[in-house]
Chain A
Amino acid sequence: MDHQPHFKRHLVPADTQPDALLGDSAVTALYVIGAVVSLVAAWAIATFNTLVRARNRVDESWSGVDVQLKRRHDLVPNLVAAVEGYARHESGTLEAATQARAQARAAGAGGPASRGAVESALSGVLSQVRAVAERYPELAASNNFRQLQLQLAEVEDEIQGARNIFNSNVEFLNTKIQSFPNSLVAGLASFRERDFFEVDLPAERRPREVSFA
């Protein structure tokens, strides 16, 4: 203990210093345990932050889906009005479209699973409206209807894009939560797996042309 700095000798008597009390191997073991604990803590913090980031991305991308779905809801009344002017006796289909839109709007606060079902129903009705329009050449040729069709196709492309982003974010989060040893941190911090958003879109049945303009 001759090599101890002067100030240390004042603070701790030589016979009570750690080396003297525990022995060299015990001190080494303490250092190793300390290093391991620090590493584990650093890993847990990093994993926790990754999970938080992944969860925030899921929430953020769900808002993106929501915005695009609302854009579609806003187009439906115009589309119905445009068709109504030419095809008054197709009121059954048009009423169904209005109802499906109302249900979709009402489900606005719901989660991906419940919204997927009502949005798919709306897609189905909108396909019927398109089919109706094809039976009326004047309607199909009208500028207003064609413009609405284009807008609807564009919005459906964006819904598809937003859904892809959301689902890949959910997949990323769920994989992180399920995989070991991340699952330990996820369990302790109460991270929950999320549902995927499944929705039928007419855009997916159209011949694919790269267009996000």
Chain B
Amino acid sequence: MDEFSQQDEQALILRAQSDPQAFRPLYHYYHPRIFAYVAYRVGTAEDAEDITAEVFMRAVSGLTGFTYRGEGAFSAWLFQIAHNEVRRHYGRRQKDSAALSLDDLPEIESDSPPVDQQVQRKEQFAALRDLIERLSPRQQEIVTLKFFGELRNREIAAVLSLDERTVAAHLSRALNELQRLYSLESALSSAPHRKEHGPYEPES
């Protein structure tokens, strides 16, 4: 879905506060982003579905109290709710480091690829998620908000209560570390004893 202009988004939010139907385009735009972010954070499709639903239910109940304060304010508000819900999820349940089965993993966004490619992409998702989990908690948050929440640094800063420059610095270090881990995994996966879940190689 195309990105909203600032004016469009503000108008939709104001309308949605009195006309429920105006919430639909906002939902269509933000649901995939919230789901992708939550799924990368929690790993399983079922948990991601439940948490995403809770995030939107809470957002809808608080929508009339939301005050638009400029570009990015709504996405930062929404992702802050999501961030808190993920945190609550981990508070309720100790992080499970056991490997997830393919059935537990969420589907990967694509334009109807063959079934075998879907499986491959799920494995790639799991492998990349393993790499991200080796980062510091702060870096994990920033990378997932950036790539799956599709937030700008300014919005990430608002969600995590950080300075925008601090976010940029964390992101830069996180990508460098990920790159290092990724190269290491690539080297290992090209060795004779290849690991089952190798790093993802994008299709050419």
Do A and B belong to a common assembly?
Answer: no
Question: Could you tell me which B residues sit within 8 Å of A by CB distance?
Answer: none
Question: Could you tell me which A residues sit within 8 Å of B by CB distance?
Answer: none
